[in-house]
Structure 1
Amino acid sequence: MKSNTLKLPAILYHGTNAYFDVFDLYFRGSNIGYPNTVYGIFFTENLEHAQMFGSRIISVSLNITNPINLSNQGIFTIESQAPVIWEILSGERLSPKKALRMLDKNIGLGEIAEAHATLNTMEASNLIKSRGYDSMVSDMGQGNLEYVAFYPDQICVQDINFFNQNKRVSSK
């Protein structure tokens, strides 16, 4: 694959136990503390996955146009983003084709966790943003993707629901 051709779902979900009207980057990661939360605000297309993060489920649409795909598949197949990933991991700037070859050659299953640790830093986030990426897609696990808005103004809240034992109990 030469470019990022990801189709964004129309509605995504954010699970939380916090009460707020507007997303704020100050609170990113406050409900989980994972290292990748340096990037922004996370969403999933699966309602059940959102419920793992809280009983307050916020349905949104996102206005994102240039996501970097940091899923395991995206790292090794999307040539256009390979230079920034390789630069974060090695400090070396390469052409897209050569960067993709270097990623494939130098990162195996044994090194992917270390690569993700390096990619999930504020320095990496800043470099990715400086290269024009406005969002991120990454693996949530078990073949599912998560979508990350870098900025709150990319998020359009559609609905807010509260769930108790997987049943909707109220709506905004």
Structure 2
Amino acid sequence: MSKSEEAELIENTDFVNEAEATELSSTTEPVSELDQLRNIVFGSAKVDLDNRILELREEMRAGFDQATKELKQQVSELQSMLQSSVSTLEESIAQVDSHYEYKTSEIEQSAQKLDQEVEENNVSSKQGDDALHKRIDDEVRTLTDKHTQKHNQTIDLLNQMKQELNSSKTDRKTLAKLLATVASNLETEDDS
């Protein structure tokens, strides 16, 4: 028990004793023997009991004050920790949002670039296809013309040989050699 508590206890005890003395002296009624006996027997016990009640009251008040103080401190610490956690979480969310927006923007740019490249490839492919078709058509036309020309030349040559054979009455061996030469010429022309 601290000195201040002891001083308060002594003051309370003095106050109780004074109150009892005042009460006894102020009463005009005679104190009965029973009251006197009670005061003699229980007087000091009553004072001790009152003192003990006062001590318990003070201890409880001090305990409640201490518990309240500790509870406030714990609540304050919890609020601080919670605020710190919320701040950290908000920062993390902001970073994730920023990263998400950056990646979304990057993906959109890539998609636009790919879309543009596909469009350009389609245009160039169409132009390339058109040019290729034109070139193939030109080659086919040229080859057809050459082939037709060679065919006509061969027919003319055969007709000429036929006329020469009919007119000169050459033998069959010469005709075979001539046809072999024409066939050979045709093969070399087809290869080129």
**Which TM bucket (shorter chain)?**
under 0.3
Q: Select the structure that is richer in strand.
A: 1
Q: Select the structure that is richer in helix.
A: 2
Task: State TM-score, norm by structure 2.
Answer: 0.15
Rg comparison, structure with higher value = 2
Task: State TM-score, norm by structure 1.
Answer: 0.16
Q: Which has the higher contact order (CA 8 A, sep 6+)?
A: 1
